Chains A and B, each alone.
Chain A
Amino acid sequence: MTEKLVAFARTARIGDPLDPETQVGPITTEPQRRKVLDYIDIARNEGASQLLGGKAPDDPAIASGWFVEPTIFGNVAQSMRIAREEVFGPVLSVIPFEDEEEAIAIANDSIYGLAAGVWTQDLGRAIRMPERLEAGSVWVNMYRATSYLSPFGGYKQSGFGRENGRTAIDEYLQEKSVWIDAGNSIPAPFVQR
């Protein structure tokens, strides 16, 4: 799986975002690129094995931009910062597991809970895993789909509230209960019924 992943990621075309052939563009800001490259260093120093990328691209045509090559680390442990902190760049950690139970435990071992993806053709697992993953969105056999039809937002430290869907409308409303006594008798004022 990891071999195929590395081979596939290697085919990504990095370049000018205005070129329709481009698949991976630059990082938006310079400080953010520095942060991504710093995380790559931290991962190497903590003992993760770098399987792909890990630097700015060599192509002189894009040397002036804030590019980072798609990067994959293997042998990542749950304790490493690369597995715990949000890098916000094209950097992937591959973490092996033995069974569903362990996969769930690793996936949920995070202060974050925004999204998750599961790949399986097992009908039961495709429902069970989303139920158990602590994330506001779970994609099965797909990733990153969002729509105004479907609420999006975080568990845990990934946020408050949901955007999109009818849930988003609740974020901007408050509910008022109005009570009207339509009766014509005088209620006992000192007793609550």
Chain B
Amino acid sequence: MTAHIDASKFLDPRVAAFVSGRHAMLIGGQWLPAASGRTLDVLDPSSGKVIAAVPAGEGADVDLAVKAARKAFSGPWSSMVPAERAKLIWRLADLIEQHVDMLGPINSYECGKPIGDSRNGEVPFTAETFRYYAGWATKLNGESMTINAPGDWHAYTRREPVGVVGQIIPWNFPLAMLAWKVAPALATGCTIVLKPAEQTPIGALYFGKLVEEAGIPEGVVNIVTGFGEAAGAAMSGHPDIDKIAFTGSTEVGKMIARAATGNLKKVSLELGGKAPTIVLADADVEMAVAGASSAAFFNAGQSCGAGTRFFVHRKIYDKVMAGVAERAEKLRLGPGLDPSSELGPVVSQQQMERITRLICEGKSSGAEIVTGGGRAGDTGYFVKPTIISNTTRDMSVIREEIFGPVACAMPFDDEDLDALARDANDTEYGLAASIWTNNLGAAHRLAAKIKSGTVWINCHNFNDVTMPFGGFKQSGWGRELGAQALDLYTQTKTVAIRLP
């Protein structure tokens, strides 16, 4: 397990030139600095070095972006026929695919994930999401109702865009999360003020260039870079933003929901998780080992659906634990840009410190480290893939979302599905879960008992554009992807006519 520190040798000169170049925000078709003139630094998490500076947008910049979005909403975008919108969104998808050689490395450079995950995973998924919603633009129909009251009536519904939407994107999947929000908003005819995470704004700014190249009218997509507490807060409380969508922590999600009450803007939230990975006695051990490892360590555990609580039947517990530990110890840590890296750094110093603090708290309250257990090396923000056992239900490692390559493992003895579901559901979160078994009946019965927005069976972290994703309980409001995401960006109008 070695941490390489020099990512620059893997950097294509064109990517390097764009990243280190002068960055501006896309507002109303113009590239502007922050009104304050201030900038914020973007770091390479594999070295901690500054790689770029972007405008530090604040309230004044958000105001300007909202004005541009409002103008575009009442102008060209809402009057454009859906088929035209569909064509532009499709063209944007093509451009994303064509620019994979820029978007992939930018993404891995600023958020640290292995380049293959960007190039072969996230970027194609981003393009596919835009393509999927391009198709929906022409299929947003209302319906007509048959009325029960006496007399002659005609009643129908229209699905109309919500208006100007604010979208706040996290740093763990900077491009995919952008697509999950921007694509359905464009398809429904909304206009957008987008704030990428302060840690990963560069991919979003590059995306802004593609939005222009696709021919999407100015002001439809506005990109304000900046800190959450300045730009994000200004968006959440903005009186002329009709809807806010956020992906991030439950704590910030609650702040956004509170701020949104001013004008009661619509809110959708995709928040934290503490997903159980449940391995039943009959599971294929090899498959479960690979699945549990991926559930915990994919994207360095920085996935809201990450499987961070293993429930493994006692009969195969030792075998599964040995397998996962072996895999964890073999994982090659390194910068995302290095094609040989299998596990990148976590995104920031702050995240690394939080993760290692939670591991320490676990240890000092009696948990055991099966493998890993702290920072890797002394450069960059690398954390060793870590498995913790001997935990109890009140420990912070079990209760809090760690958002790092850390999972806790618990054996169970009998296959009472109700008891198992009770333990799996013993969390304030409810985003995702996975069940590993070949038992048809148990798989479906347990899936029904789990309180989470997604249940994966014999897979984990599997997302598809057609499958709604979102949280039960404190994991959020609303569903992204699939047809359901369209509900987040449309409102229904009922028209009832009494026939004279």
Contact = CB atoms under 8 A, between A and B. Distances in A.
A166 B139 contact: yes
Contact of A124 (B440, B441, B448, B500): B500
B500 A181 contact: no
A124 B152 contact: yes
Contact of A127 (B442, B443, B444, B499): B499
Contact of B445 (A122, A123, A124, A182): A182
Nearest to B139: A166
A149 B448 CA distance: 37
A184 interface: yes
Majority DSSP secondary structure for residues of B touching A: helix
B497 interface: yes
Contacts of B442: 184
Given A128-B152, A149-B138, A166-B139, A123 B500 contact: yes
B138 A124 contact: no
B440 A182 contact: yes
Interface in A38-59: none
A127 B441 contact: no
B354 interface: no
Interface string A139-155: 00000000011000000
B499 A183 contact: no
Contacts of A148: 138
Contacts of B154: 127, 131
Contacts of B152: 124, 128
Contacts of A128: 152, 499
Interface string A171-183: 0000000001111
Contacts of B497: 123, 127
A132 to B, nearest CB: 11
A127 B144 CA distance: 12
Contacts of A182: 440-441, 443-445, 448
A180 B440 contact: yes
A122 B499 CA distance: 10
Contacts of A149: 138
Interface string B441-485: 111110010000000000000000000000000000000000000
Nearest to B154: A127
Q: Of residues B138, B440, B441, B442, which shows the largest number of chain A Cβ atoms within 10 Å of its Cβ?
A: B441
Interface residues of A, number: 14
Contacts of B440: 180, 182
Contact of B499 (A124, A166, A184): A124
A30 B139 CA distance: 42
Contacts of A127: 154, 497, 499
A123 B154 CA distance: 11
B444 A180 contact: yes
Nearest to A185: B441
Contacts of B441: 181-184
Contacts of A181: 441
B215 to A, nearest CB: 22
B263 to A, nearest CB: 34
A27 B445 CA distance: 66
Contacts of A131: 154
A127 B153 CA distance: 9
Nearest to B446: A182
Interface string A158-193: 000000001000000000000011111000000000
Nearest to B417: A184
A127 B498 CA distance: 10
Contacts of A124: 152, 499-500
Nearest to A122: B500
Contacts of A184: 441-442, 445
Interface string A101-130: 000000000000000000000111001100
Contacts of B500: 122-124
B110 to A, nearest CB: 41
B7 to A, nearest CB: 48
Interface in B135-174: 138-139, 152, 154
Contacts of A123: 497, 499-500
A183 B440 CA distance: 9
A184 B441 CA distance: 7
A123 B138 CA distance: 27
B384 to A, nearest CB: 40
Contacts of A183: 441, 445
A108 B163 CA distance: 44
Interface in A5-33: none
B235 to A, nearest CB: 34
A63 to B, nearest CB: 43
A108 B441 CA distance: 56
B388 to A, nearest CB: 33
7 contacts: A122-B500, A124-B152, A127-B154, A128-B152, A182-B444, A182-B448, A184-B442
Interface of A: 122-124, 127-128, 131, 148-149, 166, 180-184
Minimum-distance CB pairs A-B, first 8: A182-B444, A124-B499, A124-B500, A127-B154, A182-B441, A182-B445, A184-B441, A128-B499
Given A124-B499, A127-B154, A131-B154, 7 more contacts: A123-B499, A127-B499, A128-B499, A166-B139, A182-B443, A182-B445, A184-B441
